[in-house]
C-alpha cells in the first residue's frame, strides 16, 4: 500500500504530532517507526512494540494512536515526560534477534534523547537490555513495572470505593478480576490480603489455579461481566467495555489495569448513564510508567531508586482519580450533561500540558 505525502502530514496534523521517523536496516530486516507526539513536558517516553501488522499503514496508525495516549498518560501522572511510541514491524517470534535489536538501539541513540523507550507487547526486559548496549535512552531494565502497576490499581480501587460508598475499606468488598497475568495476579494478592472477596477468570488454567490457592473464586471467562460485584477490574484486554458487555455489567465501579478498556468514547458516557463509576485506564494503570520514569531519572543521576518514595508517588493515583471525578461533576458538555470521567481525565492532562507549555515560553537568560 502506498502512502501519499499529504496523507502523512494530514495524519500528523490531525493530532499535532511533532515528529515521525522511519528506520530500516536491510541487513537485519529492521523496519521501525518512532512517533514523537508531544515533548512540552520533557522527552517522549514510550515502549517499543513488535507486532506483525497487516500492512505499513496499520503500523503507522497504531504507533500514532499509542504515542498520543502516552502524552496524556505521562502528563496525567504528573511526570515531566512527553509522549511517544515505537513499533517494529514483524512477528517477534520470527524477526527478533540480537543484531536487529542492537541495530534498532543505534537508531534510537541517533534521536539524541528526544525519545526514551522500554518494553511493550512483543518485547521483554531482556530485549531492552540488549537495546541498551547501543543507546542510553532506554528505561525499565532494573525494576519490573508490573507489580507497581498492580499497586496503583489497588489504590485506585480504594479511591473509587471511597467516592462511591464513602469508605475505602476493602474488607468484604467483592471484586471481579478479568486476566491474571503479571498485573492481575498481583492485584488479586493485594485484594485478598485486604479482606476482599475476589472472583477471577483467565483463559490460562495455571494462572487461575495460582489465584484459587490464594482464596479467590473462579468463573468461566464469558461469565465475568455478569458477576454481581462492587468492582469489575479488567486486567486482560482492551475494548472489553462495549455494546455487548455493558448491559451485562452488575457492578458499581469499573477499575482495572487493561489499556483502552472502552471500545469507544461513547462507552464512557454509557457507563456514567448506568450509574457505574469508571476509573480512566491511563490514570489508574500509570504505576508502571511512574516506575520506568523514576528509574530513568535515577540512572541519569547515578542514584538507586528509592522504592519507598516511589510507592508513595504511586499511591497518589488515588487522589488523582478523586480529583478527576470532581472535574467530571463540575464540567458540562454541549448538551448540559456532566462530562464522563474519561473526558475529565483528558481535560485534566491537557490543562497541565498547556499550563507548563506556557511557562516554557518565558525567556531565561543563559
207 binds ligand NAD (CB under 6 A): yes
179 binds ligand NAD (CB under 6 A): yes
Q: Which residue has the cell 486482560?
A: 236
202 binds ligand NAD (CB under 6 A): yes
Q: Per-residue b/e over 216-247, b at no fewer than 16 CB within 10 Å?
A: beebeeeebbbbebbbbbbbbeeebbeeebbe
Helix (H, G, I), strand (E, B) or coil at 14: helix
Look up 85 and say whether it is catalytic: yes
In sequence order, the 6+-apart residues with CB closer than 8 A to the CB of 75 are 41, 83, 349, 350, 352, 353
Residue (of 164, 161, 158) closest to 329 by Cα position: 164
Return the residue of 77, 157, 258, 277 that touches ligand NAD, per CB under 6 A. Answer: 258
Nearer to ligand NAD, 237 or 332 (CB): 237
Bridge partners, residue 32, by sequence: 23, 88
Nearer to ligand NAD, 29 or 181 (CB): 181
Residue (of 179, 201, 188) closest to 157 by Cα position: 188
Return the residue of 20, 188, 236, 262 that touches ligand NAD, per CB under 6 A. Answer: 236
212 binds ligand NAD (CB under 6 A): no
- Segment lying near ligand NAD (by CB under 6 A), choices 108-116, 157-165, 255-263, 306-314: 255-263
Q: How is residue 264 annotated by DSSP?
A: S
49 binds ligand NAD (CB under 6 A): no
259 binds ligand NAD (CB under 6 A): yes
Q: For the window 296-325, what string marks contact with ligand NAD as x by the rule CB under 6 A?
A: ------------------------------
Q: Dihedral (C-alpha) 243, 249, 251, 257: value to the nearest 10 degrees?
A: -60
Nearer to ligand NAD, 177 or 276 (CB): 177
Active-site residue (options: 85, 132, 158, 197): 85
Q: How is residue 171 annotated by DSSP?
A: T
Catalytic residue annotation:
85
> Which residues lie near ligand NAD (CB under 6 A)?
145-146, 149, 178-184, 201-204, 207, 221, 235-237, 257-259, 285, 288
Amino acid at each position: 500500500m502506498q502512502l501519499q505525502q499529504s496523507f502523512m502530514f494530514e495524519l500528523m496534523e490531525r493530532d499535532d504530532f511533532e515528529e515521525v521517523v522511519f528506520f530500516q536496516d536491510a541487513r537485519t530486516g529492521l523496519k521501525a517507526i518512532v512517533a514523537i507526539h508531544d515533548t512540552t513536558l520533557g522527552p517522549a517516553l514510550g515502549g517499543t512494540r513488535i507486532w506483525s501488522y497487516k500492512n505499513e499503514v496499520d503500523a503507522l496508525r497504531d504507533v500514532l494512536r499509542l504515542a498520543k495516549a502516552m502524552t496524556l498518560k505521562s502528563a496525567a501522572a504528573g511526570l515531566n515526560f512527553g509522549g511517544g511510541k515505537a513499533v517494529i514491524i514483524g512477528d517477534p517470534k520470527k524477526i527478533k534477534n540480537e543484531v536487529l535489536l542492537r541495530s534498532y538501539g543505534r537508531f534510537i541513540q541517533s534521536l539524541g534523547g528526544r525519545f526514551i523507550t522500554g518494553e511493550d507487547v512483543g518485547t521483554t526486559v531482556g530485549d531492552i537490555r540488549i537495546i541498551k548496549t547501543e543507546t542510553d535512552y532506554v528505561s525499565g531494565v532494573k525494576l519490573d513495572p508490573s507489580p507497581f502497576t498492580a499497586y496503583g490499581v489497588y489504590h485506585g480501587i480504594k479511591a473509587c470505593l471511597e467516592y462511591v460508598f464513602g469508605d475505602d475499606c476493602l474488607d468484604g468488598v467483592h471484586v471481579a478480576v478479568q486476566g491474571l497475568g503479571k498485573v492481575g495476579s498481583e492485584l488479586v494478592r493485594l485484594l485478598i490480603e485486604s479482606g476482599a472477596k475476589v472472583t477471577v477468570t483467565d483463559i490460562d488454567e495455571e494462572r487461575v489455579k495460582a489465584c484459587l490457592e490464594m482464596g479467590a473464586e473462579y468463573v468461566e471467562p464469558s461469565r465475568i461481566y455478569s458477576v454481581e460485584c462492587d468492582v469489575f477490574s479488567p486486567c486482560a484486554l482492551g475494548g472489553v467495555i462495549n455494546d455487548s458487555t455493558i448491559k451485562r455489567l452488575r457492578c458499581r465501579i469499573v477499575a482495572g489495569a487493561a489499556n483502552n478498556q472502552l471500545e469507544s468514547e461513547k462507552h464512557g458516557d454509557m457507563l456514567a448513564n448506568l450509574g457505574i463509576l469508571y476509573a480512566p485506564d491511563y490514570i489508574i494503570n500509570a504505576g508502571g510508567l511512574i516506575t520506568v520514569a523514576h528509574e530513568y531519572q535515577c540512572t541519569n543521576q547515578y542514584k538507586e531508586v528509592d522504592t519507598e518514595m516511589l510507592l508513595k508517588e504511586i499511591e497518589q493515583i488515588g487522589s488523582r482519580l478523586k480529583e478527576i471525578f470532581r472535574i467530571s461533576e463540575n464540567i458540562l458538555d454541549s448538551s448540559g450533561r456532566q462530562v464522563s470521567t474519561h473526558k475529565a481525565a483528558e481535560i485534566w492532562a491537557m490543562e497541565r500540558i498547556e499550563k507548563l507549555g506556557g511557562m516554557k515560553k518565558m525567556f531565561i537568560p543563559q
